[in-house]
Amino acid sequence: MKKETLIKTGIWALIILVALFLLQIALSVAKSIKKPTAVVFNVNSIKIASQVVPHIMTVQGLVEGDPQVKVYPQISGKFARNNVVEGQMVGRDSIIAYIDRDVIGATYELAPVKAPVAGMVTKLYYLDKGESASPQQPVAEIANEDSIKVVFNLGQADLLKIKKGQKVKISYISDPAISMDGEVVSVPPVVDSDIMAGTVVVKAVNKGKTMKIGMSVNVNILYDQPEVFMVPEKAVLLSDETAYVYVNHGGKVQMVTVNIDYRVNDKIEIKGALNEGDEIITEGNFKLYDGAMVDTTPPEAKKAK
């Protein structure tokens, strides 16, 4: 009996020793396994601040005199001769050209064609004596250089942004340094249904006759000056359905959906659930996800530590 008790005691003792040994091994293995560290993404960021941003629309056109008119004869006949040369300044009612009535069996004095306005003769349409002339065909064009206008068409989306009285800057396409201030003087009340556009006219005083008739210019129209948030374009990410940015909240980012609007150089206007001083991720954002951990410490600051 004692022998059986001793055997059972020995077996239990052996089981306990084996269990303790296995437990010690398990604890050692558990200590040797490193806990996974959270992934922290190194990124760059900026803090946004609202600012007044001029919204400018740029269109192209040709400089015209104000006024700039074509000169038509009042009678039909044959062209006799021009009384002026291109580039010549003329007054109102100055004789521009003469028309021969060319009526068989009758003799008439040459009929003068007079300038309806004062200005510079920019073009003469007839050169050869004897060409047929009629009231439907101009003999010349006259432009006033002291004041200029630029006429252009805008589509309906852009037309909605333009109003009479808005300020413009007119500058040469080939040399933007040459420019002058003007304003919008005419905006159509309706859109031409044939071309789904409308004709806009801007005018300016041509001080020093800086702008030459017929030159190509850019017209920059200031149509709005809202107070908005501007960020680098690379801060905005695009999906199939929306645009979004990542906002850093104490080392953890939140994805915020935004609407994008006006662009200036490499910056873009964003609108959404954003507040003054929010920290927007600008670089390294392509690998982020909502709730990701980030470090915005500059590399040089890390080295200093």
pLDDT digits (tens, 9 = 90+) for 260-294: 989 988 999 999 999 999 999 999 999 999 999 99
Indicate whether 197 belongs to any domain.
yes
C-alpha–C-alpha distance, residues 219 and 169, integer Å:
6
* For residue 19, pLDDT beyond 60: yes
**CATH number of the structural domain spanning residue 246:** 2.40.420.20
Q: Is residue 183 part of a domain?
A: yes
Judgement on whether residues 300 and 232 belong to the same structural domain of the protein: yes
Task: Identify the pLDDT of residue 37.
Answer: 62
What pLDDT sits at residue 217?
Answer: 97
The reply to whether 107 and 135 lie within a common domain is yes
> Residue 141 pairs with which residues in a beta bridge?
70, 123
Buried b (16+ CB within 10 A) or exposed e, 188-219: eeeeeeeeebbebbbbbebeeeebebeeebbb
Q: Share the mean pLDDT of the chain.
A: 89
Torsion of CA 79, 82, 87, 91, to 10 degrees: -110
**Res 18: pLDDT:** 67
110 is in which domain, residue-wise? 65-143
> Is residue 206, in this structure, part of any structural domain at all?
yes
| pLDDT value, residue 274 | 96
pTM, rounded to two decimals: 0.70
| Residue 169 belongs to a domain | yes
pLDDT reading at 106 higher than 70: no
Could you tell me the CATH number of the domain that includes residue 121?
2.40.50.100
| Contact between residue 80 and residue 139 where contact means Cβ atoms under 8 Å apart | no
Instruction: Give me the sheet containing 140-143, strands edge to edge.
Output: 68-71, 140-143, 119-124, 89-90
> 164 and 216 share a domain?
yes
pLDDT band for position 241 (cuts 50, 70, 90): confident
Peptide bond into 226 cis (omega under 30): no
Question: What integer pLDDT is reported at residue 33 of this predicted model?
Answer: 57
Residues 117, 70: one domain? yes
**What is residue 36's predicted lDDT score, i.e. its pLDDT?**
55
Domain boundary among 87, 120, 143: 143
In the predicted model, is pLDDT for residue 132 greater than 90? yes
CA dist 93 and 143 (Å) reads 14
Mean pLDDT, range 230-237, rounded to an integer: 96
Token pair belonging to 257 = 């959906």
C-alpha 296/C-alpha 305 separation (Å) is: 15
Residue that finishes a domain, picked among 101, 128, 143: 143
**At which of 198, 224, 250 does a domain end?**
224
149 shares a domain with 139: no
Mean local confidence (pLDDT), 44-51: 95
Instruction: With respect to residue 137, please indicate whether it lies within any of the assigned structural domains.
Output: yes
Give the Cα separation of 16 and 242 in Å (integer).
64
pLDDT at 35: 54
What are the pLDDT digits (tens) for 57-70? 999 999 999 999 99
Q: Are residues 163 and 184 in the same domain?
A: yes
Residue 305 pLDDT > 70, yes or no?
no
Whether 121 and 70 have beta carbons less than 8 Å apart is answered as: no
Do 258 and 274 form a contact (C-beta atoms < 8 A)?
A: yes
Residue 163 located in a structural domain: yes
| One domain, residues 85 and 95 | yes
How high is the pLDDT of residue 191? 87
Q: Are 243 and 282 in contact (CB under 8 A)?
A: no
SS3 79: strand
Provide mean pLDDT across the span 243-266.
94
> How do residues 68-101 score in pLDDT, each as one tens digit?
999 999 999 999 999 999 999 999 999 999 999 8
The answer, yes or no, to whether residue 117 has pLDDT greater than 60, is yes
Q: Is residue 2 part of a domain?
A: no
Q: How confident is the model at residue 108 (pLDDT cuts 50, 70, 90)?
A: confident
C-alpha distances out from residue 237 to 27, 175, 243, 268, 299, Å: 47, 36, 6, 12, 24
pLDDT digits (tens, 9 = 90+) for 176-211: 999 999 999 999 988 888 888 999 999 999 998 999
Query: In sequence order, what are the residues at sequence separation of 6 or more whose Cβ sits closer than 8 angstroms to the Cβ of residue 34?
Result: none
Nearest alpha carbon to residue 168 among 179, 160, 176, 157: 179
Instruction: Tell whether 34 is covered by a domain.
Output: no
Considering its fold, how many domains does the chain have in total? 3
